[in-house]
Amino acid sequence: MSKLRVFVDADVLFAGSASPSTQGASHILLVMGELTLIEGLTSEQAVIEAERALEAKLPAKLPEFRLLVSRALRVVPDPTPMEVRACAGQADPKDLPLLAAVLREGCSCFVTFNTRHYFPAHGAIKILRPGDVILTIRQTLSQL
């Protein structure tokens, strides 16, 4: 069985590193990536967005955030303008680069709290909240 390829949005990165609890789904997903139970990916854009939000709201969490990202995720380059244009109409305009990166990297799952911002035509990708990904993983493991 191959690992689940999970692309993590900036809001999930923020929640996973900013939360005082280690029990939240966002944090658990990052830990699963760190343990290589899943293949976690994100884009340069998502990392920058999360860093800016942490810098503005919780600057003391930045070192922990950077450590988590370096251990748990593979940061991929942002998509080219042509890759973004190919996704036109499948997400809110400001979110198109993230969707383009998800599709380019062949991820089966895009984890975000903003599920209503995305409506991909590509049938192989699921747009899920962190808790839903944890439930999916739990169901898969229970069938082994």
Condensed to tens digits (0 to 9), the pLDDT of residues 83-126 reads 999 999 999 999 999 999 999 999 989 999 999 998 887 676 89
What is the model's pTM?
0.93
Contacts of 103 (CB under 8 A, 6+ apart): 87, 120, 122, 125
Domain annotation for the chain: domains and CATH numbers:
5-142 (3.40.50.1010)
User: Facing residues of 128 across strands?
Assistant: 111
Condensed to tens digits (0 to 9), the pLDDT of residues 52-92 reads 999 999 999 999 999 999 999 999 999 999 999 999 999 99
Rounded to whole angstroms, the Cα distance separating 52 from 46 reads 10
Of 104, 33, 39, 37, the residue nearest 72 (C-alpha): 33
pLDDT of residue 47: 98
